[in-house]
Amino acid sequence: MASYESIYSGSDNFLIPKESSQKYISTGYQSSVSSIGMATDPRTANQLGELNAKLNPGMSHLEVGGISGSVFDSIPEQHLDEMRRLGKLTGVSASVHAPIVEASGIGEKGGWEESNRLGAELELTSALLRSHRIDPKGNISVTVHSTAQLPEMIQKTKAYNPETKKIEEMTTAMWVINPETGKIGPIEYAKRYFPEEGKKEGEFTGKPRDFRPTNELKKLNEDTWTSQLSDINRHVTYGEDILDKIQSNYKISGDTMNSLMKGKINFDNVNAEEFDEAKKNLKSIQKDITHGQIYLQDAYRNLKNVFDSAYANAIKSDNKEDMKKLKEYAEKVSPLIKEGIDKNPEALTEVLDKGVKVLQEIKTPQIWKPLQDFVVEKSAETFANVAVKGFKKFGDTAPILNIENPPAGGGLSRAEDLKVLIEKARETFVEKMKGELGSSEAKNQAEKLIGATWDVGHINMLRKKGYTEKDIVKQSEIIAPYVKHVHLSDNFGLDHTELPMGMGNVPMKEIMEKLGQKGFEGKKIIEAGNWWQYFSEKGGGNPFRPSIEAFDSPLYSMKAGATWSQMGNYGSYFSGNLGPVNPAVHHRLYGAGFENLPMELGGEIPGDRNRFSGTPNQ
């Protein structure tokens, strides 16, 4: 049967030089087997069975796979307890990959709701608390994703700039959100030619300006704000014009108009000469009054909403000048705002006219905000709350919440973004716990309980956006101080493939050197989903084997012992040249086994396998 060595020699990037006698795939980074673990199959709730099966290759660490919420909830509590006992019996430690949920509260169909965020918090809390059963005496690592299915919210790429004739990083789009409505949308690249404010005369070049998301966001807020004020002003104008024409045409006083608007017909104050004409056109007048009322009522409703938004924004941004203006306006019109004001044209138009005027004088509110800032704020709240609940329940043995970078191109997948999220989550944890622990101890616990899981395969996917190996290594350097856990998979930077290490172009040696410089000593978990999918049942075996070959792991626990690279002349288990190690045919030919014994004594069952390997119906 073909083995993986005979069909896939790996990437040339990491092959040992041809002049060397070593013929295995190498990352150039050496790691002991004790620091490498493997994830279980995420498709099944029988994680106990998965754990048992994965122990066979001799691993010292296993991670319960990144399964869905429904599958995770299906794991019996007894299985979690048994996994703890099995780990203790075999000396194997464990970690957990929690269900992948969107911690910020943004729903699958777009838009944000606080109820979604609370639901995510409850789901992650359940995963964290249940994980403690697997390792109740240690701080078990529980990995969560920074985002789930969100796109990169500030989209960047590296490409050739014909203007500068250099390869440069360029921002191509930015997602924004209206926190009041929860509505989300993109600001996409657009060419801007119109002269910018503040530029000197004669500087117009006729060439499009660089795409700057902050300028585009400012423009979007200004356009939205102007549109809201225009809607109010337009409705006020339409309503006032209709009512003014009625009064002008029929010489109706303000009191009479109020009576008509309230449905109290009273022409006592109508000019006697026009009385008959007004009475004759009463139905038409009432119809016009209704139209005028609707316009003014719409304007009044919009004014209240816009005022509330503007005042809330002034409070949040601590804009005292705007707060003062809005407060003075509110105090002036408060006596006019009585029940039935919508049928009092004089009071209503006064409130509206003054309102529009003061709203035009204040600073443009931040109606739309960068989605990334919003997601960081809401997700940090979720993660901090989960960590707080874990600490309050378990104290010093509370699980560690490690936030993972999703595949590059997803939200908060870059090191600088993940760093901001972790720092914000820690700050929120401190705010919630400093009253109980004091600021210093709360900070220590936050740094202990909230960290990063760095997925080297995920960050390597930046290559498809034009980034280089040097950029990938730099990303690892940025996040290194926060990393407590590592996920291993290889790819060629173009797709979310999950191959054993050494089969793609992930710069593993350089990445691990950067992490090591910041003191990383955690576990490294092999995630090889594509390997299981394509090769596990076709002679490829376990992805753990090619990975420890790629890491040149020592064969024995002592550091001075032989390594996998030194075993290259002993068959395909290591090099792929001499066929399978210890094949069954040797036993059949030379009798060095049980195959030739009678079936009663454990010999081979015709058409099946050795009696000692299991029952025939398995």
What Å distances lie between residue 371 and 105, 126, 450, 547, 553, CA to CA?
Answer: 12, 27, 23, 38, 44
Question: Identity (one letter) of the amino acid at 94?
Answer: A
DSSP bridge pairs for 93: 61
Q: Distance between CA 109 and CA 43 in Å, rounded?
A: 25
Burial class (CB in 10 A: 0-12, 13-18, 19+), 362: buried
Tokens 């209709």 belong to 242
Token reading at 264? 């109290």
Q: Distance between CA 260 and CA 503 in Å, rounded?
A: 83
What is the per-residue DSSP string for 10-61? --GGGBPPTTSS--SB--S----GGGEEEEPPTT-S-HHHHHHHHTTTT-SE
Closest to 448 in 3D by CA, of 405, 484, 404? 484
Chain centroid offset of residue 263 CA: 57
Strand 61-64 to 524-526 pairing: unpaired
Token reading at 47? 């994680």
Q: Tell me the per-residue pLDDT of 292-344, one tens digit each, with 9 for 90 and over.
A: 888 988 999 999 999 998 998 899 888 999 999 999 999 999 998 888 787 77
Q: Distance between CA 210 and CA 190 in Å, rounded?
A: 9
What Å distances lie between residue 147 and 21, 180, 337, 441, 457, CA to CA?
Answer: 45, 22, 46, 29, 17
What Å distances lie between residue 223 and 208, 220, 366, 386, CA to CA?
Answer: 21, 5, 11, 39
| Residue 5 and residue 548 in contact, taking contact as beta carbons nearer than 8 Å | no
Report the 3 state secondary structure along 563-574. Answer: EHHHHCCCCCCC
Q: Tell me the per-residue pLDDT of 487-506, one tens digit each, with 9 for 90 and over.
A: 999 999 998 888 888 888 99
Q: Distance between CA 577 and CA 158 in Å, rounded?
A: 43
Closest to 65 in 3D by CA, of 91, 37, 85? 37
Burial class (CB in 10 A: 0-12, 13-18, 19+), 207: exposed
Closest to 52 in 3D by CA, of 96, 86, 98? 86
What Å distances lie between residue 411 and 2, 110, 153, 308, 374, CA to CA?
Answer: 40, 14, 6, 31, 12
What's the pLDDT at 578?
Answer: 42
What's the pLDDT at 579?
Answer: 46
Tokens 């910018």 belong to 196
Low-confidence ranges of the chain (pLDDT < 70): 1-27, 57, 66, 198-205, 250-283, 531-533, 535-543, 555-562, 564-618
Token reading at 59? 């691993």
What's the pLDDT at 324?
Answer: 94
| Residue 469 and residue 507 in contact, taking contact as beta carbons nearer than 8 Å | yes
| Residue 99 and residue 72 in contact, taking contact as beta carbons nearer than 8 Å | yes
